[in-house]
Structure 1
Amino acid sequence: MYRAKFATKLAVGMLFSVAASVIALPAAVAQTRLTNASNVVNYAGQDDAFLALRNASRANKADMVDGLASVLSNYDIPSYVDYYRLKPRIKDLIAPESEIRDYLTRYDGTAIADRLRNDWLLELGKAGIWTTFDQQYPLFALDDDTQLKCYALTSKALKGGNVADDARALLTNPKDYGQGCTDLIGTLAQNNQFTQADVWFQLRLAVESGYGNVGRRLAPFLDATDAQIAQAIDRSSIVVARGPGADRAGHELFIVALGRLAKNDPSQAAAALTGAADQLKPSERALGWGQIALQASLKLDPMSADYWRAAQGAMLSSDGYEWRVRAALRAGDWRMVKSSIEAMPSALRDDPTWIYWLGRSLLADGRKTQAHKLFQSIAEQTNFYGQLALEELGQKIVAFSAPSVITPLELAPMQKNEGFRRAFRFFDMGLRFEGTREWNWELRKMTDRQLLAAAEFARQSDVLDRMVNTSDRTKYEVDYTQRFPSPHRDVMSNNTQALGLDMAWVYGVIRQESRFVKTARSNVGASGLMQLMPATAKYVAKKVGFSGFTPDQVNDVNTNILLGTNYLSMVLNDLDGSLPMATAAYNAGPGRPRAWRATLPGNVEGAIFAESIPFNETRGYVKNVLSNATYYAALFDGRPQSLKARLGYVAPKNFTASALP
């Protein structure tokens, strides 16, 4: 049941689907008729035509877009009608520049205009129209597109600017590269701002991240052919068996192939590297061990810490730096934890995760004053590691907040806010992506008081996910009742009491799973407040004797909570009462936490177990849920709480919960 993050989507291919929650329209527009050369389509209302327009535009079906847009000339969200009409023609710069500029002027300052500028900039960068790109890029408000950042650096480099350091800092996640970032790497390689070592590093990064196609696009800038790179990626055992060869390219391809081989068998890759050691420079051997160590760490291989020691001095990816620390934590090697964090780039080292663990390594070395200084630097943060740091300072987690009541005067601007109105309009149509974008756009420059007022407006409108996310943004005034709501309390209390289940933990799960959106549906089919998969819901319904259960009942609040709490109880009992493991099981399935536990060298802190979960999503999920649960307990009980107590210890499979310290 490994599930991606909650995201509600409307299938692009369903061009004429009818939204389940279409808003009733006046009789005059109750039926909309679209005539096309090949068909006649009737819609129950303009919202249906709008949904069809959106999907046709996103599918780049320009022939349908104009016809659909023409029947929406009086639609109450004209900026989106015009956007969807224009978007397919932004591609390859088919639309005249004057038309694009006119749109940006008409809807200046709106979220959708910024989105269109993003679309346009991508096409300008792709086409190399740098004068217009350079004029428009500073106007892109969100500036959250890695490809655009790459294009901006390319433009600067082509004008003679030295951008190598900025590029190295930016180019860390090949998933986000696209054409813009591979173009940047090529430009910097051609003008000698990137060395061959830089480009080979990018290839290794792409391959270890699972984006071999990105790595292959770098072939023109390396002393290796596309065929050679493809063989190192796809037929790694052949390349490893052949050995490093005599030239630089052969050595680099051997190192890439070692990493690929280690995905399946780290010990085999380690043996091959040991056998070829005398043919490699010390720096190349370190790179090879780094490639093997990362894959071994992701498998929770007990040898991974030894592999990392052999990789000393290697240039690592962000994942490499982080997993070296995690391997040291699992091995209980606090000196290695300290040295590995200190070797990180500063931007990575400043993350609260590594500030906390560096503090713990200093404590293990008897350097309490320095450790406490680090803990104090993050203890005010209301996140997993902020909470743990607070406990290291001898305090507990509280949820006492008393911001002054939001006044009608403060609430009035939120009620009149056009962006919020559009957001609610989209939510009513089931378009949560568009609604969330509109809502978040309005929050960008708000003060804490304004954010609290916006969150209160969301609460009064029963849009609890926006209340939670908005309130989470405040820095100085905190309203924990907004951040950690507990709706359906009577239903929840009845179910958790009957099962002997911690209600705070269940609310922590719901907050992470659905943010209290009752009709939430993930992109893999999980539904409702507790995001139950269909097969799981059916299984639990049968186990608890829920006769007559049908899949459509899973979005009913009572049913969803009944089945979800029973499933949580089952996995908790199955995993010896360990909250970290049961939480991981709810996200990734019960088999995986059992397998992860089996690799432990002994009893470890729950925080170490959580930090070394090899799935990124599940690792973040466990930390967030247990952080949430601690705040909920503080609210429910009215007294300070311990996150460390909730985390407890996790033992190898041959231990039981009663044997834990």
Structure 2
Amino acid sequence: MYRAKFATKWMVGLLFSAGALSFAVTPAVIAQTDAAVIQGNVGDQDATFLALRDASRANKTDKVEVLASVLSNYDIPSYVDYYRLKPRIKDLVAPEPEIREYLARYDGTAIADRLRNDWLLELGKAGIWNTFDQQYPLFALDDDTQLKCYALTSKALKGVNVADDARALLTTPKDFGAGCTDLIGTLAQNGQFSQADVWFQVRQAIESGYGGVARRMAPFMDATDAQIAQAIDRSSLVLARGPGADRVSHELFIIALGRVAKNDPSQAAAALTASADQLKASERSLGWAQIALPAALKLDPQAVDYWRAAQGAPLSQDGYQWSVRSALRAGDWKLVRTSIEAMPQPLRDDPTWVYWLGRSLMADGRNEQAQKLFQSIADQTNFYGQLSLEELGQKIVITESPALITPLELAPMQKNAGFQRAFRFFDMGLRFEGTREWNWELRKMTDRQLLAAAEFARQSDVLDRMVNTSDRTKVEVDFNQRFPSPHRDIMTANTTALGLDMAWVYGVIRQESRFVKTARSHVGASGLMQLMPATARFVARKVGVIGFTADQVNDVDINIMLGTNYLSMVLNDLDGSLPMATAAYNAGPGRPRTWRSTLPGSVEGAIFAETIPFNETRGYVKNVLSNATYYAALFERRPQSLKARLGSVAPKGFTISALP
């Protein structure tokens, strides 16, 4: 990409005199506009487009108009028009006919659906419900939690009882925004939510680290913002004061228990025990639940006792799941079962909890019921689908590839306008926009069409889209598409020299970068194996790379050499445990050692993986080892065991004789 180094006021002025713009442009506007002027060079046009995108995101309306006007012949007009209109969508500055004209002109495209999303958010915020209700069913992706909240608010204002739908929706405070706190307020004011419902939402928000969301609910309840703030920020003072005599004081005391437990669960437990006779049984259960979750996240062995004391308390999604994880670490299969059975049905249906419920039933001798649960998910090509298959006495194998994609099936993919836009964005380094365009086109495709789209991505050397597209098929599964192994010569040389399992390394790359050679994470990790700069320098020094520079990390040969060496280092440092080494690659080598040290004894690798307290690392370990099992099946052409790869994990120096 190139950015033009100059622009002349004469050329900008020419555009204005030709009637390209309909507003007065001052010298200040000209001065702030990027110096990229179109002279027939695609690189210059792309630079101007990127400047337009940045100006639109910053709501610099005048600058947007200047840049959009010099892109009148740009080859992606829908995005030029979108970025021109988007800043004026905010607070509904743009007139409705202009918005509707855009939606009609680009009907059926990903970016039109994105603009409708933007518009609906503003309509909901302004409470323009007639237009909102007319437009919301047309929002194809329907993936915005705030819009779902606004839709329920609109129904509630019309007298529809939406309390159950709201409780099912309001589970992730980080996604709430104004739309969801407004919904809670509406339901509290019209009697559909009780004070207990509102207090639950407050606890859930604080528990998740979103105290600001909790405080926005103060007008809807019988507590003040100042009281909630004190329970959050001066929780030790609230505990020292005791539960008090009224409902509000009890609720604030319970919140303070959770806040203190984040640093010291035993201190919070002592405070609750000392005040137990001042609380109702249901309040004591809530208090123990508030202590149990932070204790569980600390992998505190006492957490399982706190969860037992919390039985019957309404829990957040995290609470339900961590009550099971604590029981798994403690080997309490009865508590595993009762905790899963207490979950709301949608959460209980997750393959994770289907599998562990099956295991708890096996521990209770109810093998027939357990087998039915395993059978219900054994066809899924994920971590718990694979483990369930093994519980049924089978191993992980690669099924026969479907019929080859024909030129006739491939032709529509090559002509697909959305895919062409995706490639244009990828060429500009705009992976978010490119991925949105690509995925939009996949929504209604059959398995064969998905396989054809994946093949088109392969032929275009866009392997991440090949993998993600092929992953969507339900019946026809092409494992070669889902689990590609490019750069085999480089990989074989490095893994053979290090005695490293090549399937595991490919499993890491598939999870880290999806084979995007220039991938860069938000924290600065780079390349196929997503190496952090400091890690790359450390490994380069260890293996004797002379004159290593940071820019070399995106070179495929060097990236794989450094990445495989680092994997070998962490694997050797962690006693050859694949779950621990995989966790170390994601979270650093110190953390898995800490997590292992809190175990009561030897546990299955699957239990260690499921009870990792970092959400990202927990998912990462499960995905990498699932990937590695399929790669091994592809490479070795024989059945594989995920359980064998997981092995067991125990505290350092643990032996069976150490058990009491």
TM-score after normalising by structure 1 = 0.94
CA offsets per residue over residues 356-380 of structure 1, 9 Å max, x none? 0000011111111111010000000
Task: Check whether the contact 2:470–2:482 (CA below 8 A) recurs between aligned residues.
Answer: yes
Deviations 1:50-107 (A, max 9, x none): 0000010011111200000000000000000000000000000000000000000000
In structure 2, the residue matched to 1:269 is 268
After superposition, what is the alpha-carbon deviation per residue over 1:556-608, rounded to whole angstroms, capped at 9, x for unaligned? 00000000000000000000000000000000000000000000000000000
Separation in 1, partners of 2:64, 2:656? 61
* Structure 1 partner of 2:515: 516
What SS is found at the alignment partner of 2:473?
Answer: coil
The residue aligned with 1:294 is 293
The alpha-carbon deviation at position 42 of structure 1 amounts to: 3.5
Structure 1 position 655, deviation (Å): 3.2
In structure 2, what residue type is equivalent to 1:365? D
CA-CA distance at 1:400 after TM superposition: 2.6
- Equivalent residues of 1:33, 1:71 under 8 A apart: no
**Mapped contact 2:447–2:473 kept (Cα < 8 A):** yes
Change beyond 3 A, Cα 1:161–1:470: same
In the TM superposition, structure 1's runs of 4+ consecutive aligned residues that sit over 4 Å from their partners are 32-36, 656-660
Task: Please list, as runs of the form range in 1=range in 2, the aligned pairs for 1:123-134 lying within 5 A after superposition.
Answer: 123-134=122-133
CA distance in 2, matches of 1:42, 1:151: 41
Secondary structure at the residue paired with 2:287?
helix
Letter in 2 for 1:567: Y
Alignment match, 1:113: 112
* Aligned equivalent of 1:81: 80
State which drifts further: 613-622 or 38-47. Answer: 38-47
What is the aligned partner in structure 2 of residue 582 from structure 1? Answer: 581
Superposed, 1:128-147 pairs within 5 Å as 128-147=127-146
Cα distance between partner residues in 2 of 1:34 and 1:635: 59
Aligned pair count reads 634
Take 1:172 and 1:138, find their aligned partners in 2: how far apart are those partners? 23
Q: Distance in 2 between matches of 1:429 and 1:34?
A: 25
Q: Work out the CA distance in 2 between the residues paired with 1:468 and 1:657.
A: 43
The aligned amino acid for 1:197 is A
Indicate yes or no: 2:642 matched with 1:648. no
Q: Are residues 1:100 and 2:99 paired?
A: yes
- Residue 248 (str. 1) matches residue 247 (str. 2): yes
Give the AA of the match of 1:448.
Answer: D
Amino acid at match of 2:215: R
The answer to whether the 8 Å contact 1:33/1:42 transfers is: no
Asked if 1:435 corresponds to 2:434, the answer is: yes
The residue aligned with 1:6 is none
Q: Name the CA distance, whole Å, in 2 between partners of 1:342 and 1:600.
A: 25
Q: 1:471 Cα shift?
A: 0.1
2:165 aligned with 1:166: yes
Distance in 1 of aligned mates of 2:398 and 2:622: 18
Alignment of 1:351-362 (within 5 A): 351-362=350-361
Q: Does 1:42 align with 2:44?
A: no
3-state SS in 2 of match to 1:192: coil
**Offset from partner CA, 1:176-227 (integer Å, 9 cap, x none):** 0000000000000000000000000000000000000000000001111100
**8 A Cα contact 1:514 1:520, kept in partner:** yes
Query: For the residues of structure 2 that align with 1:402 and 1:269, how far apart are their CA atoms?
Result: 57
Higher RCO structure (Cα 8 Å, ≥6 apart): 1
Tell me how far 1:33 sits from its aligned partner: 6.1
Q: Is the 8 A contact 2:299 2:598 kept in 1?
A: yes
In structure 2, what residue type is equivalent to 1:632?
Answer: Y
Structure 1: which amino acid aligns with 2:36? N
User: Secondary structure at the residue paired with 1:482?
Assistant: helix
Contact 1:378 1:389 in 2 (8 A): yes
Q: 1:82 to 1:657 in 2, by over 3 A?
A: farther
Amino acid of the structure 1 residue aligned with 2:618: R
1:656 positional shift:
8.2
Q: Does 1:452 align with 2:451?
A: yes
Contact 2:601 2:654 in 1 (8 A): no
State how 1:210-221 maps to structure 2 within 5 Å. 210-221=209-220
Aligned equivalent of 2:477: 478
Whole-Å separation in 2 of the counterparts to 1:141 and 1:170: 19
User: Residue in 2 aligned with 1:122?
Assistant: 121
Equivalent residue letter for 1:307: Y
| Native 8 Å contact 1:526 1:533 kept in 2 | yes
Query: What are the within-5 Å matches in structure 2 for residues 243-642 of structure 1?
Result: 243-642=242-641
What SS does structure 2 have at the residue aligned with 1:548?
coil
Which deviations, in whole Å up to 9, do the C-alpha atoms of 1:298-346 show, x marking residues without a partner?
Answer: 0000000000000010000010000000000000000111111111111
Distance 1:349 1:194, change over 3 A: same
Quote the Cα distance in structure 2 between the aligned partners of 1:83 and 1:568: 44
1:196 paired with 2:188, answer no
- 2:165 and 2:201 mapped to 1: Cα distance? 14
Give the structure 2 partner of residue 15 of structure 1. Answer: none
Find the residue that maps to 2:79 and give its secondary structure: helix
| Contact 1:259 1:291 (8 Å CA) reproduced | yes
Shift of 1:399: 1.4
**Partners of 2:655 and 2:479 in 1: how far apart?**
36
Give 1:329's aligned amino acid: L
Alpha-carbon shift at residue 658 of structure 1 (Å): 14
Give the SS at the match of 1:296.
helix
Report the 3-state secondary structure (helix = DSSP H, G, I; strand = E; otherwise coil) of the residue aligned with 1:244.
Answer: coil
Give, in angstroms, the shift of residue 402 of structure 1.
1.8
Partner amino acid for 1:235? R
Report the Cα distance in structure 2 between the residues aligned to 1:654 and 1:260, rounded to whole angstroms: 35
Distance of 1:524 and 1:641 partners within structure 2: 35
Q: Give how far 1:654 is off.
A: 2.3
Whether contact under 8 Å (2:231, 2:252) holds in the other structure is yes
Q: Unpaired runs of 5+ in structure 2?
A: 14-24, 38-42
The letter for the 1-side match of 2:343 is M
Identity %: 82
Report if the CA contact (8 A) 2:301-2:600 is conserved.
Answer: yes
* Rounded Cα–Cα distance in structure 2 between residues aligned with 1:642 and 1:657: 25
User: What letter is aligned with 2:54?
Assistant: N
Question: Matched residues in 1 for 2:174 and 2:400: separation?
Answer: 40
Partner of 2:22: none
* Contact 1:34-1:42 at 8 Å conserved across structures: no
Give the secondary-structure state (helix, strand or coil) at the position aligned to 1:433. helix
After superposition, residues 44-83 of structure 1 pair within 5 angstroms as: 45-83=44-82
Q: SS state of the match for residue 36, structure 2? A: strand
CA distance in 1, matches of 2:369, 2:249: 46
AA matched with 1:599: T
What is the rounded CA distance, in whole Å, between the counterparts of 2:255 and 2:469 in structure 1?
A: 44
Aligned partners of 2:251 and 2:298: how far apart in 1? 24
Match of 2:21 in 1: none
Q: RMSD of the TM alignment (CA)?
A: 1.6
Match of 2:18 in 1: none
Instruction: Say if 1:135 and 1:658 are closer, same or farther in 2 by CA, change over 3 A.
Output: farther
Structure 1 pair 84/656, CA: closer, same or farther in 2 (3 Å)?
farther
